[in-house]
Amino acid sequence: MLTSEEAEAEWLDLNAWVNWLRTTYGLPPAVIPPYWHRHDELVWELSALHTHWLNAYDPEGSPSSPVAWHRDFADARNRLREWVATSGSKLDRDRPTRPTVWPGEEPREVGGEVQIEHRDADFVAYVIEDIAARRRIEERAHRAS
């Protein structure tokens, strides 16, 4: 698990890269919606794609790595479309991804749909909340040791 400081740097780096990716390739919200950061499935997919991109374009890497990245990027776009469709996230509104409740499990309340007013402000608030939660965990672990 990342520390609060590491997580903050990673969130900001990933956000900048996702903004670059969506504008460079003209990706629609059906592939990368504004609230991607609020959906774990999208965060994991985009984070993996970002790590792959960093390695593919490393000056010490293989000259064919960028071609491999683009092939994998095509596959990732298909997965992203599936994740976005499942999550229900759109350009102007978002809702938490609804988990499937298996027989015998209690239904989970995940919240309703919200209007997207200001994407960047929401991202900053989300990261601040994530960092605060990580700091609380770190403080509890420090007190326990």
Q: Which helix (H) or strand (E) holds 4?
A: helix 4-24
Domain count, the chain: 1
Check pLDDT > 90 for residue 114. yes
- Does a structural domain hold residue 104? no
3-state secondary structure of 115: strand
- Does a structural domain hold residue 63? yes
Class of residue 4 by CB neighbours under 10 A (exposed 0-12, middle 13-18, buried 19+): middle
Confidence of residue 17 (pLDDT cuts 50, 70, 90): very high
- What is the torsional sign of CA 88, 29, 15, 54? positive
Model pLDDT, residue 118: 97
Q: Please spell the DSSP secondary structure of 69-114, one letter per residue.
A: HHHHHHHHHHHHHHHHHHHT--SSEE----PPPPTTSPP------E
Domain containing residue 14: 4-97+111-144
pTM summary value: 0.91
- Does a structural domain hold residue 44? yes
- Does a structural domain hold residue 103? no
- Does a structural domain hold residue 106? no
Per-residue pLDDT tens over the stretch 28-54 = 999 999 999 999 999 999 999 999 999
Check pLDDT > 90 for residue 1. no
Structure tokens at 34: 């504004």
- Does a structural domain hold residue 105? no
- Does a structural domain hold residue 102? no
Contact 127, 8 (CB under 8 A): yes
- Does a structural domain hold residue 17? yes
For the chain, the first-to-last Cα distance in angstroms comes to 18
Residue type at 17 in one-letter notation: W
36-40, 57-61, 66-70: which has the minimum mean pLDDT? 57-61
